[in-house]
Structure formats: structure tokens, C-alpha cells
Amino acid sequence: MIPSPTQPALFVPHGAPGFALRPGAAGAAIAARAGSLAAARAIIIVSAHWDTVVPTVGFAERPPTLHDFHGFPAALYDLRYPATGSRAAAEQVVDAIHAVGLAVERAPARGLDHGAWIPLRLMFPEAEVPVVPLSIQSHGGPRQAWQLGRALAPLAGQGFLVIGSGNVTHNLRDYRQAAHGGGAIPAYVRQFPTWLADRLLAGDTAAVLDYRRRAPGAVAAHPSDEHLLPLFVALGAGGDSPRVERFHAGVDDGVIAMDAYCFAPSMPVRGGQRSIGCRDETGAGTGIRDGRAAAGSDSGEPATAGLAGGATANPTATAIIDQ
């Protein structure tokens, strides 16, 4: 693989922990996208499940796989992701955050929670790219997350791939109810992702950052912000006026929207700007990787399509996911 001088930023779903065992169409989509990119120098992974007061960067050279959930099938606890870290790359992340005047801390032994290792295991099964975890700050809201992403934007030009990992809808109460009774998909599971896609594709960052007031079904889709904050980080990391692509849309476990996005930064050129691609156009990508799996309960669709209607409930949905 040929390292790319400039990387896009991605937002990918991590679903519920069972996503690791039945990745379905969403898993295939994010694996294919990873395989279509030129090699990154390092991955900055921003998970909804690492929440701190100030931005915190993981420095572990061998970050352990954290099974931060209880009551799921035993097979999940046997899974490991043999990631390597990079202290040099982590220091660059710290420097980038400091450079915009934000406080930042170091976590010398931080592992990878399931919001980090589940998508990484699907996207980069060989664990060939160093991983630097970065926390969210749920108290800061969407704008602070977007500003954190903006701090990371210069690193895209140095080969850093920013991946935000969350879910476009995340309502644990409805998730548990779907596990017991199934039934119709709640209206917000269609309404909110459609609104979000429309606003992102239109470049309406102001509306997206104000989603809790403007979006239909916003509070039901996200009783709290944390699972959408990684999207704002990725959006910010895409820089000024990024090209936005929704490369997967679907519903899993009855209520979890599994949408995935790419934010390609604009590059200055004579007479204006152009956006780099959301895929490797040099032929240096490695293709669809072995991390994909057979199709499951969600359905993949192109960026401009509406959400799929089919979904199934997860029989382990009443298990506990640590925050």
C-alpha cells in the first residue's frame, strides 16, 4: 500500500456489540470503504464510549481490547483486536489540539472500547495501521465536538485517518423494547437520518450542529448526544466545505440507524479549491478486506437513497453496554 498524503474523515456505525458477530451489510460497507482507501499513516479513532472532561489521547503501544458490556454471547468476549499504538502519532494529535487552544490530556494505558475495536476489526482486520484513540466530551455538545474535529483537520494532510464511531440513532429504551417485541420501526428511525443526510449533503453545518432544535425526532433519536458526537468530530476533521458522501444507510436491531459517511477535505488549487476523493483514486487501496461478512439485518444503500425498512431485533438487547 502507498501512504496517502491526504486522508478523508469517516463516520461509521458500531451498532450494538452483536455487530461484531453479525456485521451484515453495514459491516461489508465499512470494510469495503476501508479497503478502497490508500494506506493511512495512523488512525485516530473517536468512540462514543470514551467520554472525558477534556480531550484525552491514548498513548498505549499495545492498546488492549476492552469488553465494556455485559450479558452478551460468550463468543463476543473471545474476540480481540491486536492493535498497535504510536507514541509519535499520539504526540502529533496532542500538538494539533494544543495548537487551537484546547486543553488536552494523555492516557498512557487506554485500551480500545467496543465502539473502537468493533469497526476497526471489520475495516482493518490485519491491524496494520497504528491506532490513536481520542475521547469525546459529552458535556460540550455538538459544536465543541466539531471544533475538536477542526483541530484534527491539518493531520489529514499528513496521512492521518480520522474515524468517528457512533450511531445515527441511539435510544437504549427502544432498543430493549425491540428485543422483546419487535414490531414497527419508530418514525424517528426514518425521519432523523433522512433529515441529517439532507442537511449534511447540502453543506448546512449550522443546522446539523443545532440538530436538537431543528431535526424531526432528534430527542427520541438521541436522548443524549454522545453517540452522535463522533460524527461532528469527523465532519470538523473534513475541514472547510468538505465533500460529503453517505456511503451506507440501513437499520439494525429495529431501531439503530447504521448510516456511514465520508467527509473529503478540499485542497487549494490554482483558481479555487478541489475536494480529494472519499476513495483512493491511485489504485493503492487494497480492495474489500476479509473483515466483511455475509449480509445481515440491515440493508446498504447509496448516499442519496432513503433508509431501508427491514430490520430484526437482537435477542441480547437487554444486556448492558457500559458507558
pLDDT given for residue 254 in this prediction: 92
User: Strand pairing of 272-275 and 266-269?
Assistant: antiparallel
Average pLDDT estimate for 114-124? 99
Q: Is residue 303 part of a domain?
A: no
Say if residue 273's pLDDT is above 70: no
Query: Can you tell me the distance from the alpha carbon of 274 to that of 263, in angstroms, rounded to the nearest whole number?
Result: 13
pLDDT given for residue 180 in this prediction: 79
Does 145 or 316 have the greater pLDDT score? 145
Question: What are the helix (H) ranges across the chain?
Answer: 24-36, 74-77, 87-99, 114-123, 141-156, 172-181, 187-201, 205-209, 211-214, 218-221, 229-237
Mapped onto helix, strand or coil, the DSSP state of residue 38 is coil
Q: Is residue 20 part of a domain?
A: yes
Q: What is the pLDDT of residues 74-91, one digit of tens each?
A: 999 999 999 999 999 999
Q: Is residue 161 part of a domain?
A: yes
Does 323 or 14 have the greater pLDDT score? 14
Q: What is the pLDDT of residues 182-198, one digit of tens each?
A: 678 899 999 999 999 99
Does 51 or 311 have the greater pLDDT score? 51
Number of domains in the chain: 1
**Residue 77 identity:** Y
Q: What is the pLDDT of residues 154-168, one digit of tens each?
A: 999 999 999 999 999
Confidence of residue 181 (pLDDT cuts 50, 70, 90): confident
Q: Is residue 289 part of a domain?
A: no
Distances (CA, A) of 244 to 206, 229, 275, 303: 15, 17, 10, 9
Say if residue 59's pLDDT is above 90: yes
Confidence of residue 47 (pLDDT cuts 50, 70, 90): very high
Average pLDDT estimate for 139-151? 99
CATH code for the domain in which residue 164 is found:
3.40.830.10
Q: Is residue 291 part of a domain?
A: no
Confidence of residue 297 (pLDDT cuts 50, 70, 90): very low
pLDDT given for residue 272 in this prediction: 52
Say if residue 287's pLDDT is above 70: no
Confidence of residue 146 (pLDDT cuts 50, 70, 90): very high
Distances (CA, A) of 121 to 1, 189, 271: 18, 26, 41
Q: Going by C-beta distance under 8 Å and a sequence separation of 6 or more, which residues neighbour residue 92?
A: 155, 158, 160
Query: Can you tell me the distance from the alpha carbon of 63 to that of 72, in angstroms, rounded to the nearest whole number?
Result: 22
Say if residue 291's pLDDT is above 50: no
Q: Is residue 297 part of a domain?
A: no
Q: What is the pLDDT of residues 243-266, one digit of tens each?
A: 999 999 999 999 999 999 999 997
Domain region containing 42: 9-283
Say if residue 62's pLDDT is above 60: yes
Q: Is residue 296 part of a domain?
A: no
pLDDT given for residue 320 in this prediction: 47
Q: Is residue 310 part of a domain?
A: no
Say if residue 298's pLDDT is above 70: no
Average pLDDT, the chain: 87
pLDDT given for residue 283 in this prediction: 47
Say if residue 60's pLDDT is above 50: yes
Confidence of residue 18 (pLDDT cuts 50, 70, 90): very high
